[in-house]
Amino acid sequence: MARIAEILAARRTYSCEFFPPKNEAGWLSLGRTISELEPLNPDFVSVTYGAGGSTRAKTADLVSWVHRQTPITPMAHLTCTGHTTDEVRAILTDYRAEGIENILALGGDAPVHGDSEPKESHYRFSEELVSDVRAFGGFSIGVAAHPELHPRSPDRDADRRFLATKLAAADFAVTQFFFEVEHYLTMVDELAALGVTKPVVAGIMPISNLGQVTRMAHMSGAEVPEWVVEAMSKAGDDLDVAERIGIDLATELCSKLIDAGVPGLHFYTLNRSWATRKIFDNLHLVNRG
């Protein structure tokens, strides 16, 4: 095991993200995906957490499986929405007992309960969760960053100040995905002007389904540029061609980020391996050791 902050202090990181599957077939498929990505020597993998803790047990199961069955360092997502301080303390206690050392502390989305009462929550902002995880001790803590601003931010200045405050208490950030390198570089410059020196890892989403990515981008406050839409449209209904175009776009973005000195690249895999493996190959990262 290793703390991600220490890895980032030593070198540029390359990492992946997974989500807990909903059924047995999904778990088998994810097992194959992780096995296929393992030869790439990812520095860490992160595991998502459903709205209001809806995948709490599955997230913990997947994090524990990665820790026990692979040489890869896992990072567990943890959201503050829908949790009490006692629940968070219990989750952190379990992770500590398991030997997990990395937490991505997030705000999270409110769970959908229909007509039922919403779950009790002792947190309003992820900054408060970061503070509690820090006080608990023993974890390297990451937070989320939005290059194109958080969708609930009142304005650009407020967004950057809130992020700078989070990073003052955390160890690093991982961004939502984006497509224009300038969005990332501008954010880093704006954070530096506020005195932030913590590393900000760039989140990368290889496109294979334009409609799906557009919906996800809208939810996270990002935009899919027109030039990306035009490039992907050339594939027509050919899904294989669409995936190859998406990989080429992601490879170009990663290359620009590496040239700019990005501290890390984090790939949103959607529980599939082929696109990430191909990008690693394109960037000559497969045998980096």
Residues with active-site annotation: 17
| The dihedral sign for the CA sequence 178, 179, 184, 186 | negative
State the CB neighbour count (10 A cutoff) for residue 3.
18
Helix (H) or strand (E) holding 215: helix 210-220
Q: Which parts of 99-148 fold into alpha helices (H)?
A: 126-136
* Ranges assigned E (strand) in the chain: 13-18, 44-47, 74-79, 102-106, 140-145, 172-177, 200-204, 264-268
**Phi (first) and psi of residue 152, to 5 degrees:** -105, 10
Tell me 195's DSSP state: T
Going by C-alpha positions, the residue among 67, 155, 181, 80 that lies closest to residue 121 is 80
State the CB neighbour count (10 A cutoff) for residue 230.
9
Burial of 41 (C-beta count, 10 Å sphere; 0-12/13-18/19+): middle
Q: Cα–Cα distances in Å, from 10 out to 38, 41, 185, 263?
A: 21, 15, 21, 10
- Identify whether the C-beta of residue 108 lies closer than 8 Å to the C-beta of residue 51: yes
Residue with tokens 């992601």: 250
Tell me how far apart the alpha carbons of residues 217 and 279 are, in angstroms, rounded to a whole number: 21
